Chains A and B, each alone.
Chain A
Amino acid sequence: MYADHAGVLFGYFARRVGPDLAEDLLAETFHVAIESFASFDARRGGERAWLFGIGSNLLRHHWRTEQRRLRALARDAARPPTNIDPLLAVGDHVAERLDAVEAADRVIDALAGLSPDDRTLLFLSGWERMNSSEIGAAIGQPAATVRSRLRRLRRQLRTTATALPDDQEALR
């Protein structure tokens, strides 16, 4: 089981909290799996989904780390390219990059306002490309419910992350 799933689980953890903490979380996930293996029910989903469910529970306690990492990623992405493209106007480039950082910050703020369970749904769907059946098996909910919740969450993310901050709203 370790050989089958360690790689993909590590990727999930590393994307969310970075590779160093990911190693610890990977070890902890298998520890919890060993301790609670009697709860595994193959009919509710495969080993992978079960392990993702355990791992997602562990990640609930690392949102501060995730948040820092997401903001760092957003700023990294906005750094000036080392090979300057002479065909692009530098000023526009800067503006675009700042817009991107601001947009990312709003998304991160919106994510922060969600419950840990809702965030897990978005990450499993958006980043891990899991379908609703797999996610349902991981979090113990029917696939139809997962789809319904994802629709609501995406709408919520869209609304929250595109709303102007209060002070800017007041100036309009």
Chain B
Amino acid sequence: MNPIDVFDDLRPDTRPLDSAAADRVWAQIVARHPELDEAAALATGPWTDASRLEDVADPIVPGRARRAAWVGAVAAVAVGLVAIASVLNQRSSGQPPTATTPPDATDTATVETAPDGSTTVESDGDDLATATGFILPGFIPDGWKVTELAAGRSVDTWGNPFGATRWAHVVNGTIEKFLSVRPPSPVEPGDDVDADVTVRGFPAEVFTQNTGQIGVMWNESGYRISATATGLTETELVGAMDALVIDLDNQTVSLPDGGASLGLVPEPELGFVDGDIITSKVALGHPGVASDTIFAVATPNTFGLSIDGSLPDVPGWETLDVDGIDMRLLDRSAGQSTSTQLRWIDGDIRYEVHGTVDTDTLVEFARRLTLTDAATFKTAVAALADEETATMMAWAELDRVTFDDGITATVRSQSTGSGANAICIEVPVQQCLEQVSEATLTGSYADNVLGTFNIDGRNLVIGWQSASEAERLGNPIIEPADALAPNDGLGATTTATVDQLVAGTSGRFIEIEVPHGERPPRLSFRSGNTVIFDTGAPPIRSDYEY
């Protein structure tokens, strides 16, 4: 029997989610987010309402009216939230970076040895030092606090984020045509294509994406090349790819006429923005109400979009004049988003502000955002990190180790005392990283924790496992980050090794030094060929992100 059929046949039938189970699960959620209970009750009445169960049984039915009434509950927020926000927000999520810009390379250092044997240390990583476009809040509503600051080089959300070469045709601030070609990458096993068309004499596969883009990919001279386009026909796209000039040595592509025959202009020649502008984000939280948020993202207006040309295609946008700035407002009462949004363009920068507060408060937050420089932003990030670290250092110490290199690490437990809520470096500097409960079930602590620290120019991965987990899992194996490599100059492979594996009092610690130019690896634990547990790769640290 075909193994694929066997796999399909193993698919079990399961009972549907009945009202009792739905209530039980809802109770679990509300226990941790009590604000939802009140909001949901106000909006729709009790969960066991029969009409709502119909939606559970048939999740394909959009249920827009009910969803619109889902005021304040959970959070699909952000119709059109720029993708950079998702990456910047992943600082502690444990998920691999996906679309858009990666976090910055951390502030690295290289040791130069002079002929006389003396050494000097040079910082080579702070490529944001002269960048512009950093935002900080000038107004924080009562009871709120800054919970996140992040900045980095960005690509626009149009097209492919993986270091693609891009062309656009922009008319009156709206992108009419767009072409994105990913840099050639070595063909990997399984990278075969269907022969829908022929490109440059090679079979090529045409695909469409739910964003309305059309794409084509093919293998040539041992390399995979793919392109996506908006506003071009399949014939135009294939024709452009037939003419593509590919430089395999430098991993670059270009069009012989620069795209002019299709009305396209290469991205660097669009000239809409100053190349020093970066993307930055600031988020506020409201202690005790986890679903409340305010955040702002400032990003370069790479394609010279007009404010109306940059808006997500949903109804309900209103025009608002704030101190002479032409803003657009999408009030959450319009039912398109669970937060209220403000958007505007000022100079070369596009701004988005989202919040679960009332419109007046959000406008005040928006109008008092300030632009600042890299040094000031970096200082603010450090202050936030210190503040969060101080909070976590007050939690109970669960385990402690001092590695051979003198670094002292601890894990700390917020309430239960039986698992980790934070992993900290205490010597030579104090830095703590909170461990989110994503890796656990309803318990609020973790038995396996892993964080990346930047200590004296060294990128270190420090981890801890409880004694029972260490016994169950055995020794770790270093594996490369399991993610498509974004164009951040960091290698897709890893040469890191486990430097130290040291027992503590209630578990064991691990230290791994990440070679410069590489991403932090993930750790897997195997029994024979079977992967028993996989940590995922922790995100690389940046002085511009907390």
A interface list, Cβ under 8 A from B: 1-8, 10-11, 14-15, 19, 21-28, 30-45, 47-48, 50, 53-54, 57-58, 60-61, 63-64, 67, 70, 73-74, 77, 99-100, 103-104, 106-107, 109-117, 122, 126-127, 133, 137, 139-145, 147-149, 151-158, 160-162
Contacts and interface: CB of A to CB of B under 8 A. Distances in A.
A107 B532 CA distance: 17
Given A3-B63, A40-B78, A28 B441 contact: yes
A40 B25 contact: no
A35 B354 CA distance: 15
9 nearest interchain CB pairs? A152-B190, A140-B98, A37-B75, A161-B3, A27-B28, A7-B56, A14-B14, A112-B530, A10-B17
B531 A112 contact: yes
B31 to A, nearest CB: 9
Nearest to B281: A38
B117 interface: no
A15 B11 contact: yes
A33 B75 contact: yes
Contacts of B215: 144
B528 to A, nearest CB: 9
A2 B15 CA distance: 18
A15 B12 contact: yes
A38 B33 contact: no
A24 B441 contact: yes
Contact of B157 (A5, A43, A148): A43
Contacts of A1: 67, 70, 73-76
Interface in B13-69: 14-17, 21-22, 24-26, 28-29, 32-33, 36, 44, 52, 55-59, 61-63, 66-67
B207 A7 contact: no
A25 B22 CA distance: 12
B437 A4 contact: no
B487 interface: no
Contacts of A54: 438
Given A2-B26, A38-B78, A107-B7, A31 B534 contact: no
B376 to A, nearest CB: 23
B383 interface: no
A145 B32 CA distance: 37
Contacts of A126: 4, 7-8, 11
Contacts of A74: 10
Interface string B75-87: 1111111110110
A112 B16 contact: no
25 contacts: A1-B75, A2-B74, A3-B67, A4-B55, A4-B67, A6-B56, A7-B16, A7-B59, A10-B17, A14-B14, A31-B437, A36-B89, A38-B85, A38-B295, A39-B85, A39-B89, A42-B78, A44-B86, A54-B438, A63-B533, A67-B530, A141-B98, A144-B207, A152-B190, A154-B4
Contact of A61 (B62, B96, B226, B533): B533
A42 B226 CA distance: 24
Contact of B90 (A39, A110, A137): A39
A43 B83 contact: yes
Interface of A is mostly: helix
A144 B228 CA distance: 10
B532 to A, nearest CB: 7
Contacts of A122: 7
A143 B439 CA distance: 27
Nearest to B85: A38
Contact of B190 (A15, A109, A127, A155): A155
Interface of B: 1-4, 6-12, 14-17, 21-22, 24-26, 28-29, 32-33, 36, 44, 52, 55-59, 61-63, 66-67, 70, 73-83, 85-86, 89-90, 93-99, 157, 160, 188-192, 205, 207, 209-211, 215, 217, 226, 283, 290-291, 293, 295, 312, 338, 354, 436-442, 482, 484, 524, 529-534, 536
Contacts of B16: 7, 10-11
A42 B341 CA distance: 14
B291 A37 contact: yes
B205 A144 contact: yes
Given A32-B438, A106-B3, A41 B10 contact: no
Nearest to B535: A60
A104 B529 contact: no
Looking at A39, A154, A156, the one whose CB has the most chain B CB atoms below 10 A away is: A39
Contacts of A2: 26, 29, 70, 73-74
B531 A35 contact: no
A2 B482 CA distance: 30
B75 A3 contact: no
Nearest to A25: B441
B67 A42 contact: no
Contacts of A10: 16-17, 21, 25
B58 A140 contact: no
Contacts of B24: 23
A60 B524 CA distance: 12
**Which of B52, B62, B76, B86 is the most central at the interface, judged by chain A CB atoms within 10 Å of its CB?**
B76
